[in-house]
RNA sequence: GCCGCCUUAGCUCAGUUGGUUAGAGCGCUGGUUUGUGGAACCAGAGGUCCUCCGUUCAAGCCGGAGAGGCGGUACCA
């Protein structure tokens, strides 16, 4: 390892933040909380119950991703406990579930249907919408082997995305199965694990690189824009054609795709079993009411390489995302899942069928924030502190508002009124309460509706007129303060 | 991990062949207005020019190394 940032020469500490660990402020936090609430609400309605596990798991319980000397930080964040055992921060919510199920054993009734929402950590290179700490929201069914459980995951995932406000054509859940892929791999004679991996990775890039890029990757290899060369799978021309024809069988409706596959899939028993699996899922999707536009069968879907054993699904954001800087961002995958029948067997030897769906909350929240669809800011009512000799006046009024259930604060400090108004403005306050000498003398309070004030101010050009007009302002008897403020706040909802 | 581009005020950026005290717009603070968030005018604060090493009488500018950011690629359980 090379020397890291040198100690500051000035003796001051550097205010810096590890990349991929985002600071989250008001707007983003609320957008994220709303997503979690909505998605878990859908999961609950479908009959799933809550289960959360801790942030750390023993490294061996998470699988093969052990810290080693070659790449001590590959993939996971790991530390040694005081008994020298390696622990890792969980990288998803599924592996800890497998551990939990194995630990509970027969005591846990099955099928066990659970949902969870929380942060996970991956030690990888961050990018836009990609973090090293991020939230996922999962649902899993453990102990149900039939395709119905998979179809349910798919339909429920699509419904959850609808529930958070996705509309026609803004997203799609694409469905495939590992068995179909295995059939294709067998049919082109790919035996070496290395070759099979290379083919699957190439297929996974169909939507991004297009048919010609994938063809290069299936064959000799591909040179990208930066001049970097990626070694291909080394298939012959005929095999490349065959794999591509299969991958491009996806069509507008599930029935047509299945028909295409039936033609293209003259291959192995495993391939035929995969096709039958997809047909069964398609049938169940009808009964579950999953719209054709929301859920498609797409043979190019691969997803992760190791633990899925059957159906796999991937949710993708289709809407173009243009940031304030005018750049367009490709958000891509916002969730996915699949069947992982062997995950519990790692602990117990007993094969426990399981399937799950996961939505990437942080990535979705980031996308919605870029789209300017974060939660609308709603700041506190600010009680101005105008009577320098008696700040308790503002404190008392704010207390009165809070006791009435309103979000309120008294301005801390004795700045000019102008500064206090600017503060309220920046806090996105719905209203300010103004009580100075005049109001005290008259036994009244002045309340300014900041939203209405801003609106009316647009029509005023001269500053003097603006000051005189005092737009959006009302004066009411002191006893009516709470009800008047409440009326303003509620009118802005 | 690999390839390319970039890094000057809170933000967006200018900065001449290396030459005194590094600038602008926006934002921020204060004032004009003892008590009104927009507008206008005036004033002010705010900088280890990413860091370190080197070349030089002299470095924001030249050279080397490193860090960070952006884009691509690989990986993504």
Nearest residue to B34 (CA, C1')? A416
CA distance A113 to A103: 16
Through-space separation of residue A414 CA and nucleotide B30 C1' in angstroms? 14
CA A11 / C1′ B56 distance in Å? 29
Nucleotides of B under 7 A from a protein CB: 1-4, 28-31, 33-40, 48, 51-52, 66-77
Same fold, A26-370 and A381-492: no
C1' (B32) to CA (A416) span, angstroms: 14
Q: What are phi and psi of A426, to 5 degrees?
A: -70, -30
Residue nearest B38 (alpha carbon to C1'):
A457
User: Is A70's CB less than 7 Å from nucleic acid strand B?
Assistant: no
Distance A221 CA to B28 C1' (A): 55
3-class SS letters over A218-250: HCCEEECCCCCEEECCCCCHHHHHHHHHHHCCC
| pLDDT at residue A6 tops 50 | no
Class for the domain spanning A26-370: alpha beta
Residue A348 above 60 pLDDT?
yes
Distance CA A57, CA A28 (A): 28
pLDDT band at A376 (very low <50, low <70, confident <90, very high): low
Q: Which band of pLDDT confidence, cut at 50, 70 and 90, is reported for residue A13?
A: low
> Regarding predicted confidence, which is higher, A215 or A28?
A215
Q: Is the CB of A122 under 7 A from strand B?
A: yes
- Check pLDDT > 60 for residue A288: yes
Residue A4 banded pLDDT, cuts 50, 70, 90 = very low
Indicate the CATH number of A381-492 among 3.30.1330.60, 2.60.200.20, 3.40.50.800, 3.30.300.30.
3.40.50.800
Rounded-to-integer distance, Cα A363 and Cα A242, Å: 35
Asked if strand B comes closer than 7 Å to A63 Cβ, the answer is yes
DSSP character at residue A110: S
The answer to whether residue A323 scores a pLDDT higher than 70 is: no
7-46 of chain A touching strand B, CB 7 A cut-off: 8-10, 14, 19
The CA distance from A411 to A404, in Å, is 19
Highest-confidence segment of A56-65, A72-81, A456-465, A484-493: A484-493
> Nearest nt to A332, CA vs C1'?
B76
Q: Tell if A382 CB is < 7 Å from nucleic strand B.
A: no
Q: Which of residues 271-310 of A touch strand B (CB under 7 A)?
A: 303-308
pLDDT digits (tens, 9 = 90+) for A385-427: 988 778 899 999 999 999 999 999 999 888 889 999 999 998 8
Instruction: Provide ipTM, 2 decimals.
Output: 0.81
Say yes or no: Cβ of A426 under 7 A from any atom of strand B.
yes
Domain ranges of chain A: 26-370, 381-492
């Amino acid at each position: 390892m090379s020397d890291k940032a040198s100690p500051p020469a000035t003796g001051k500490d550097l205010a810096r933040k590890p990349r991929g660990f985002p600071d989250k402020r008001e707007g983003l936090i609320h957008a994220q909380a709303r997503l979690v609430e909505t998605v878990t609400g859908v999961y609950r309605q479908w009959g799933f119950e809550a289960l959360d596990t801790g942030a750390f798991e023993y490294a061996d319980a998470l699988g093969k991703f052990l810290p080693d000397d070659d790449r001590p930080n590959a993939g996971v964040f790991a530390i040694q406990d005081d008994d020298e055992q390696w622990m890792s921060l969980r990288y998803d919510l599924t592996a800890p579930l497998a551990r939990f199920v194995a630990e509970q054993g027969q005591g846990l009734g099955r099928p066990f249907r659970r949902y969870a929402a929380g942060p996970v950590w991956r030690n990888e290179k961050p990018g836009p919408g990609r973090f090293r700490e991020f939230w996922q929201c999962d649902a899993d069914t453990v102990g149900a082997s039939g395709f119905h459980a998979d179809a349910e995951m798919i339909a429920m995932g699509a419904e959850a995305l609808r529930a958070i406000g996705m509309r026609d054509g803004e997203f799609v859940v694409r469905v495939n199965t590992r068995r179909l892929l295995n059939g294709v791999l067998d049919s082109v004679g790919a035996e070496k694990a290395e070759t099979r991996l290379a083919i699957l990775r190439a297929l996974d890039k169909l939507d991004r690189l297009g048919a010609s890029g994938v063809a290069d990757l299936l064959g000799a290899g591909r040179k990208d824009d930066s001049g970097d060369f990626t070694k291909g799978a080394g298939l012959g021309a005929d095999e490349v054609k065959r794999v591509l024809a299969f991958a491009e069988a996806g069509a507008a409706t599930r029935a047509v795709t299945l028909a295409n596959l039936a033609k293209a899939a003259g291959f192995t028993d495993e391939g035929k079993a995969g096709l039958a699996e997809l047909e069964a899922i398609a049938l169940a999707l009808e009964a579950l009411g999953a719209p054709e536009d929301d859920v498609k069968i797409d043979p190019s879907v691969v997803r992760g390489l190791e633990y899925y054993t059957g159906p796999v699904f991937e949710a993708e954001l289709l809407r173009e995302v243009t940031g304030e800087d005018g750049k367009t961002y490709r958000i891509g995958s916002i969730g996915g899942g699949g069947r992982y029948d062997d995950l519990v067997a790692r602990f117990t030897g007993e094969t426990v069928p399981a399937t799950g769906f996961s939505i990437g909350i942080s990535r979705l929240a980031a996308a919605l924030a870029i789209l300017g669809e974060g939660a609308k800011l709603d700041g506190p009512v600010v009680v101005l502190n105008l009577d320098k000799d008696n700040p308790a006046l503002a404190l008392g009024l704010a207390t009165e508002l809070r006791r009435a259930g309103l979000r309120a604060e008294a301005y801390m400090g004795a700045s000019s009124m102008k500064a206090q108004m600017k503060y309220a403005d920046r806090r996105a306050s719905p209203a300010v309460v103004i009580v100075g000498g005049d109001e005290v003398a008259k036994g009244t309070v002045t309340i300014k509706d900041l939203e209405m004030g801003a609106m009316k101010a647009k029509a005023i050009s001269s500053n003097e007129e603006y000051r005189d007009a005092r737009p959006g302002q009302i004066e009411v008897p002191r006893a009516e303060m709470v009800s008047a403020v409440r009326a303003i706040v509620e009118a802005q909802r």
